[in-house]
Amino acid sequence: MHLLIDNSNTRTKIALAKGASISEWRAVIPTPELSPETLTSALAGVTFDKVSVCSVVPKAAEMMETYFEVPLHQISHQSILPIKINYPRPEQIGADRLANTVAAVSKYGAPAIVIDFGTAVTFDVASAEGAYLGGAIAPGTASLRDYLHRQTALLPSIQLTEPTNAIGKSTEDAMQIGAVIGYRGLIREILKEIRKELGGNPAIIATGGDAALIASGLNEIRIIASDLTLEGIRQIGVTNHKN
C-alpha cells in the first residue's frame, strides 16, 4: 500500500493507493494543525509500506521526513519525472504543479492546461511534446473572499455559491457576484492569453476545491478531475520508489 500526501497551505489530504488505483479512503487535516499527533490520529489502523509527499509547506515537509519509518519520497524538480521541464529555474516549481502536470499529460494527453483552484489558483501548461512550460498564479477564491471580510468593517464572511442574479439585492448577493462571476472573468482572460501563446487544442483540466463551482460557468473547461494531484503523486511516487 502506497500512502499519498498532498500538503497544501490550507489542507493536507491523505489517500491510499494499491497499484494504479487510489482507494476511496481519505483523511484531511487542516495544515496549520498538521503534527505528529494529528498524523498518528488520522492514520490509526492504516497500513502502508511507502509514502509519497507533495508539499508546498517546507516546515511540514521537514516534519514528515522524520515522522515516517517507511521509505518516503518528497516530490520536487529533482524527482524522476515522465515529463521534461522546459523552465529556467525548475527549483521554483511547486511540487503540486509538477504532480498536476504529470497526471494531466498521462490521462488527457498534451498539450494541456491545468487550473488548480486552491489557496491560490495556478495555471500549469504542458507543450504538445508533454514538457512543463510554466504557467500563471493568481489569488484563490478564498483569498479574495476572506480579504474583503477582514479588511472592511461591514462586509460579512460568506460561503461561495452560484449567484442567482447579476444585480445583487443584498450585501451577500453582491459579494457572491464579485467572487464567482467576477472570478470567472479572471480565469477566462488568463486562459485566453495562455491558449493564444500555446497554440493547438489543449486539454483544459480543472481541479481543487472550487473547481466545480467556477468551471460550471466556463465553457472553456470541460474536464474536472478532483483527484488529479493525488494521481500525479501516485505516478511520480511509484517511479521514484522503484529507483
CATH number of the domain to which 13 belongs = 3.30.420.40
Strand order from edge to edge, sheet including 120-126: 132-139, 120-126, 112-117, 203-208, 223-224
In this structure, the answer to whether residues 60 and 120 fall within a common structural domain is no
Q: Tell me the catalytic residues.
A: 96
Predicted structure pTM score: 0.92
Q: Is the pLDDT of residue 146 over 90?
A: no
* pLDDT at 13 (0 to 100): 97
Asked if the model's pLDDT at residue 149 lies above 80, the reply is no
pLDDT for res 157: 80
Claim to verify: residue 44 and residue 126 sit in the same structural domain: no
Domain with 239, as residue range(s), is 84-243
Place of cell 509538477: 98
DSSP E strand stretches across 112-239: 112-117, 120-126, 132-139, 203-208, 223-224
Q: Judge residue 2's burial from the number of C-beta atoms within 10 Å of its C-beta, 0-12 exposed, 13-18 middle, 19 or more buried.
A: buried
Whether residue 156 sits in one domain with residue 88: yes
The three-state secondary structure class of 16 is strand
23 lies in some domain: yes
Quick check: is 151 in a domain?
A: yes
CA distance 113 to 93: 15
Categorize the per-residue pLDDT at 183 as very low, low, confident or very high, splitting at 50, 70 and 90.
Answer: very high
Is the pLDDT score of 148 beyond 80?
no
Residue 49: inside a domain, yes or no? Answer: yes
The dihedral over CA atoms of 35, 38, 39, 44, expressed in degrees to the nearest 10, equals 160
3-state secondary structure of 160: coil
For residues 116-141, give the mean pLDDT: 94
Q: Are residues 155 and 229 in the same domain?
A: yes
Widest pairwise Cα distance in the chain: 59
Q: Tens digit of pLDDT for each residue in 69-89?
A: 999 999 999 999 999 999 999
The answer to whether residue 101 is domain-embedded is yes
